[in-house]
């Protein structure tokens, strides 16, 4: 999924069969350098590939995790604690129009 600045996203948190949907904005994703990933793997005992953060109405949330899925419709991360975060555009039609204006 293409992540654009100033866009809103719907995200779903899944933990042990529990699911909660919310809205967020300012989604940012950063791939970790190999030495950073090795450090976090040593600390958590699990592979970590990305750092992702987003804002909701309360605060900024920052997590480390693995990129499980990246398709045009959604992006899914899994954290070492077992939480799964699925992000989708809140207004997919705006995402498409923003992409065509940029080309």
The string of pLDDT tens digits covering residues 31-88 is: 999 999 999 888 888 889 999 999 988 899 999 999 999 998 999 999 999 999 999 9
Looking at residue 91, its pLDDT comes to 79
Tell me the β-bridge partners of 87.
Answer: 11, 75
Q: State the sign of the Cα–Cα–Cα–Cα dihedral 15, 19, 20, 21.
A: positive
- The pTM assigned to this predicted structure is 0.82
- What does the alpha-carbon distance between residue 69 and residue 45 come to, in Å, rounded to a whole number? 21
Query: Is the pLDDT reported for residue 96 higher than 70?
Result: no
């Amino acid at each position: 999924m293409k992540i654009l600045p100033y866009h809103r996203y719907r995200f779903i948190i899944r933990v042990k069969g529990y699911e909660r949907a919310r809205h967020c904005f300012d989604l940012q994703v950063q791939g970790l350098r190999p030495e950073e990933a090795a450090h976090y793997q040593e600390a958590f005992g699990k592979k970590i590939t990305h750092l992702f953060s987003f804002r909701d109405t309360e605060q900024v949330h920052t997590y480390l995790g693995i990129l499980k899925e990246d398709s045009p419709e959604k992006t899914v991360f899994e954290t070492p604690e077992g939480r799964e975060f699925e992000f989708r555009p809140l207004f997919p039609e705006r995402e498409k129009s923003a992409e065509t204006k940029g080309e």
